Amino acid sequence: MATIIEPTIFELSSPGRRGVTMPASDVPTVDLPAKDFLRSELPLPELAEVDVVRHYMKLSSFNYSVDGGFYPLGSCTMKYNPKINEDTCRLPGFLFTHPLQPIETVQGNLALMYEMQDWLKEISGFAGVTLQPAAGAHGEFTGVLMMAAYHKSRGDTKRTRMLIPDAAHGTNPASVGMLGMSVVTIPSDSRGNVDLKALEAACDDTVVGMMLTNPNTLGMFDENIEKVIKLVQGCGGLMYGDGANLNALLGIVRPGDLGFDVMHFNLHKTFSVPHGGGGPGSGPVGVSQRLADFLPSPLVGIIEEGDDETAPLYGFVNPKNSIGRMKAFHGHFGGGLVRSYTYILMHGPDGLKDIAQYAVLNANYLQARLRGTYRIPYDRICMHEFVMEGHFEGSDVRALDISKRLMDYDFHPPTNYFPLIVPEALMIEPTETENKDTLDRFADALIKIAEEAKSQPDLLHNAPSTTQFGRMDEVKAARELVLCCWLPENYEA
């Protein structure tokens, strides 16, 4: 890549340049009380429209995206998003509607939501689904609220502890903390499953339930999943499934059939909604029969049955013991639901199964090619992802160095240092979309980097050397939180 240094937009500024020229005012003007409302010290850049467009176009060309190259962060971050989703979500009937319109005028939108609820139920094996939650962690919070409401409705008020495996996503304990419950960490065993002995010891009548990601963040399907669920439910707890890794199970296993009571879907992961920098997500939640009455209100339902001649009338219905509304309006409709609906419709049942099978096959192919070069701590058939260790005997090369060096081979680095139970973790999730040539190029690069780690370790320590900017000082960036490009007048270091 050519190393053209692009100045910041403030450096490009020149006094008097402007994007638009306002016409002369044709109404009387008043003076604003400048002292209280206007901040004269804000040095806003002055540029013409074309300068701004070129600046950001140039910056965007420095970016690495899933549309530009292979990206082993996988569905857990964001997989490739088919472009047909962009066509459907821009159809005028979806685009130009407002959530406060009378239901008679948005029957198509409601029909889509109704079918989406049904499809997610069918895919997951659950009795009910809400589409409201705005993203995964919001879905977790919604799910745990329903678990608490269930216990409370039975007068079972002693339950305050949530069991969470040490391989869990950090959002699980965070969601539990939001509800004032306490977290009990359950260790993993040597095969990457939940440690059954530790689980059994933790199960008692103070347990709200367990939050389990299956397959977990090691990419391992829990071999004792039925025993785990039996233990938790045996002591009166409810079983929560974190659906972040649902990509590995589509069309193969339904969490509801396994006995899970509640699970959130990440439509923006499994069902291809583009997102970045924090959004937009979409986190519907599915529940078993015993939690269905607690679902957030409203759900989309059929208010008047149709027949051969007339379509049914869709509208909103409220579950009997609903925990209430979780979001203003009805979830992320156009951005999340229409795109995911398109994705499911385009694939159909057999296509969804293909997604899971190719995702698992691709991960196992990469694992097989890298086994022997990198240490794989939980070495068995993996699901959609696997975790290897980015360090070598007698070398000071770390996972971070390997990731940075991958950028010189034009690959995005994988997830680093997660899950926490693997030292120098490199988590690799290729997803179903990648062909064998891409997987081979990626494996070849990682094998070459392992050789370089021994012969020329400085290549790794100093990487990346081919990108716009080289190695960033992450420590300085995290310790000195100065986020503006000029120092405020009263700043003290």
Part of the chain binding other proteins (CB under 8 A), chosen from 242-250, 267-275, 303-311, 470-478: 470-478
By beta-carbon proximity to other proteins, the closer residue of 64 and 418 is: 418
Count the residues of the shown chain that bind other proteins, applying the rule CB under 8 A: 12
Rounded CA separation 271/159 (Å): 34
Cis check for the bond before 82: say yes or no (omega within 30 of 0).
no
Q: Is 475 in the site for other proteins (CB under 8 A)?
A: yes
By beta-carbon proximity to other proteins, the closer residue of 44 and 478 is: 478
CB half-sphere exposure, 12, CA atoms < 13 A: 16
Type of residue at 343 = Y
Q: Is 160 in the site for other proteins (CB under 8 A)?
A: no
Pairing of strands 238-243, 207-213: parallel
Determine which residue in the list 423, 440, 454, 470 makes contact with other proteins, applying CB under 8 A: 423
State the nearest-atom distance from the C-beta of 192 to other proteins, in Å.
Answer: 15
Rounded CA separation 204/190 (Å): 25
Part of the chain binding other proteins (CB under 8 A), chosen from 21-29, 78-86, 379-387, 411-419: 411-419
Cis check for the bond before 377: say yes or no (omega within 30 of 0).
no
By beta-carbon proximity to other proteins, the closer residue of 344 and 397 is: 397
Rounded CA separation 374/351 (Å): 33
State the nearest-atom distance from the C-beta of 399 to other proteins, in Å.
Answer: 9
Q: Which helix (H) or strand (E) holds 85?
A: helix 84-88
State the nearest-atom distance from the C-beta of 378 to other proteins, in Å.
Answer: 13
Determine which residue in the list 305, 469, 479, 493 makes contact with other proteins, applying CB under 8 A: 479
Q: Is 493 in the site for other proteins (CB under 8 A)?
A: no
Q: Is 489 in the site for other proteins (CB under 8 A)?
A: no
Q: Is 492 in the site for other proteins (CB under 8 A)?
A: no
Determine which residue in the list 32, 44, 478, 493 makes contact with other proteins, applying CB under 8 A: 478
Part of the chain binding other proteins (CB under 8 A), chosen from 34-42, 47-55, 258-266, 415-423: 415-423
State the nearest-atom distance from the C-beta of 142 to other proteins, in Å.
Answer: 25
Determine which residue in the list 368, 420, 485, 487 makes contact with other proteins, applying CB under 8 A: 420
Rounded CA separation 76/475 (Å): 26
State the nearest-atom distance from the C-beta of 375 to other proteins, in Å.
Answer: 7
Q: Kindly write down the DSSP assignment for every residue of 139-169, as one continuous string.
A: HHHHHHHHHHHHHHHTT-TT--EEEEETTS-
Q: Kindly write down the DSSP assignment for every residue of 188-250, as one continuous string.
A: B-TTSSB-HHHHHHH-STTEEEEEEESS-TTSPPPTTHHHHHHHHHHTT-EEEEEETTGGGTT
Part of the chain binding other proteins (CB under 8 A), chosen from 304-312, 359-367, 449-457, 473-481: 473-481
- On whether the CB atoms of residues 356 and 251 are closer than 8 A, the answer is yes
The tokens for 283 are 């986190």
- On whether the CB atoms of residues 363 and 386 are closer than 8 A, the answer is yes
Rounded CA separation 167/421 (Å): 7
Q: Is 197 in the site for other proteins (CB under 8 A)?
A: no
By beta-carbon proximity to other proteins, the closer residue of 177 and 324 is: 177
Q: What share of residues in the chain are helix, strand, coil (percent, to 5)?
A: 40, 10, 50
Q: Is 474 in the site for other proteins (CB under 8 A)?
A: yes
Determine which residue in the list 375, 412, 461, 471 makes contact with other proteins, applying CB under 8 A: 375
By beta-carbon proximity to other proteins, the closer residue of 96 and 491 is: 491
Q: Is 178 in the site for other proteins (CB under 8 A)?
A: no
> Phi and psi (nearest 5°) for 102?
-60, 145
State the nearest-atom distance from the C-beta of 170 to other proteins, in Å.
Answer: 8
Q: Cα–Cα distances in Å, from 449 out to 36, 187, 223, 369, 426?
A: 58, 33, 34, 14, 14
Contact string 323-362 vs other proteins (x = CB under 8 A): ----------------------------------------
Determine which residue in the list 121, 389, 438, 457 makes contact with other proteins, applying CB under 8 A: 389
Beta-bridge mates of residue 128: 287
Q: Which residues bind other proteins (CB under 8 A)?
A: 375, 377, 389, 416-418, 420, 423, 474-475, 478-479
